[in-house]
Amino acid sequence: MPLNGTSDSRVNGSAADNEFAPDDARIRGAEITRNRILLAVAYLQAHLDEELDLQLLAAIAGFSPFHFHRTFHAVVGETVSQHVRRLRLEQAALRLRTTDVAVTTVALDAGYETHTAFAKAFRQMYGVSPSEWRSSGPQRTAKAAMLEIALTGAYVAHHSTPEGTKERPMFQEVRTLTPQRIVYVELPFGDETGIAGPREAWSKIRAYGEINQLEARTRMGMGMVMDNMATTPASRVRYRACYFVNDDAPLPADPAGQVQEGLSEAGKYAVFLYEGSWDGMGDAWGRVFASALPATNLDQRDAPIFEVYLNAAAADAGETPRTELFVAVK
């Protein structure tokens, strides 16, 4: 369903050719992306005691800083900060098990300012305190026992399809979009989960539409992530809950001043289709950046990513939600 733009289905062949065939071509694209991210992972492992430099990590992996964060998360299964925090805790656990260094010293070396903060983080991850881990014998909690696996090497969560199954293709086409009028509410994510802000933004824009009876004047909802998640703290990343406006007539004023007007993004975009619960949207974006986008051989462009909800009303009535995911490309 084109979004008032033109489509170009040829990306090294037709959209169907690119997505369905050469399964080996799709695998190659995903492997290239994974290998580039693994270069950054290897660097992190060798420089755990140093300050994080996201610009340098992005350069090592061959990505722009704008796209490095979400690609890293898609391949590794963790954000960069989560990955570093976990590796430092694993390194600390190894020191606790194999040396007599004081727990407080181990905590400070792992980047924690206090023993209390270190002990809390350690227990959250492994189910035991640092002292209990140090003194534990053959009988340990299940979480603590899992640490033995982590200590054998770096963990990389590969988003792969189980052998013998075929993942539903996501890539649809390359589409050139023209600017369109939108009405929206923009709020920060509000917390690390990225749920509170978007939920409130949608509540406000829906209420505005209902109060002003705008159903006939608007169509399809769109959610946009406005900031670079590699450099903006998660709680401050801006999210827009939008509706496309069908006409040029003035819109009612919002007494609260939170509803704004603007234009949608323009330019060339790779379009991916996700069919499934909105609860799985995060995993869908993960598949886009880990495998579906690399398989197109398209280069990303620094611009907000967004999703358009094709059948929100029907989905509310029980139909499977259909969502188009847009990634800016050159």
For the segment 106-119, the average pLDDT, to the nearest whole number, is 89
The predicted structure's pLDDT at residue 168:
62
Whether 77 shows a pLDDT value over 60: the answer reads yes
Q: Do 12 and 294 contact (CB within 8 A), yes or no?
A: no
CA separation for the pair 77, 149 (Å, rounded): 17
| pLDDT for res 192 | 58
Among 123, 128, 129, 121, residue whose Cα is nearest residue 88: 121
φ and ψ at 65, to 5 degrees?
-55, -30
Query: How confident is the model at residue 230, as a pLDDT?
Result: 55
Among the ranges given (32-36, 292-296, 297-301), the one the predictor scored with the smallest mean pLDDT: 32-36
User: Which one has a higher pLDDT value, 46 or 222?
Assistant: 222
**Among 82-86, 243-247, 320-324, where is mean pLDDT lowest?**
82-86
Mean pLDDT of the chain: 77
The pLDDT of residue 43 is 82
Residues 6 or more apart from 167 whose CB is under 8 A from it?
A: 161, 287, 291
In the chain, the percentage of residues whose pLDDT exceeds 70 is 77
Count of C-beta atoms within a 10 Å radius of residue 296: 22
pLDDT of res. 305 = 87
Average pLDDT over residues 75-80: 82
- Which is more confidently placed, 77 or 247? 247
pLDDT of 14 higher than 60: no
134 against 272, higher pLDDT: 272
Average pLDDT over residues 236-247: 90
Contact 286, 74 (CB under 8 A): yes
pLDDT tens digit sequence for 165-204:
344 668 999 999 999 999 999 988 876 556 788 889 999 9
Rounded mean pLDDT, 3-15: 44
Largest CA distance in the chain: 74
Instruction: Inform me whether the pLDDT recorded for 20 exceeds 50.
Output: no
DSSP string for 42-106:
HHHHHTTTSPP-HHHHHHHHT--HHHHHHHHHHHHSS-HHHHHHHHHHHHHHHHHHH----HHHH
Share of the chain above pLDDT 90, in %: 24
pLDDT of residue 80: 87
Q: Does position 79 have pLDDT exceeding 80, yes or no?
A: yes
Q: Which residues contact 37 (CB under 8 A, 6 or more apart)?
A: 61, 71, 72, 75, 76
Which amino acid is it at 281? M
Range 306-315, long-range pairs (CB < 8 A, 24+ positions): 306/222, 306/223, 306/224, 306/225, 306/265, 307/222, 307/223, 307/274, 307/281, 308/3, 308/220, 308/221, 308/222, 309/220, 309/221, 309/222, 309/223, 310/1, 310/220, 312/220, 312/221, 315/278
Domains of the chain, first to last: 82-150 (1.10.10.60), 171-328 (3.20.80.10)
User: Residue 242: pLDDT band by 50, 70, 90 thresholds?
Assistant: very high
Of the chain, the end-to-end C-alpha distance in Å amounts to: 21
For 133-137, 227-231, 320-324, which range has the lowest pLDDT when averaged over its residues?
A: 227-231
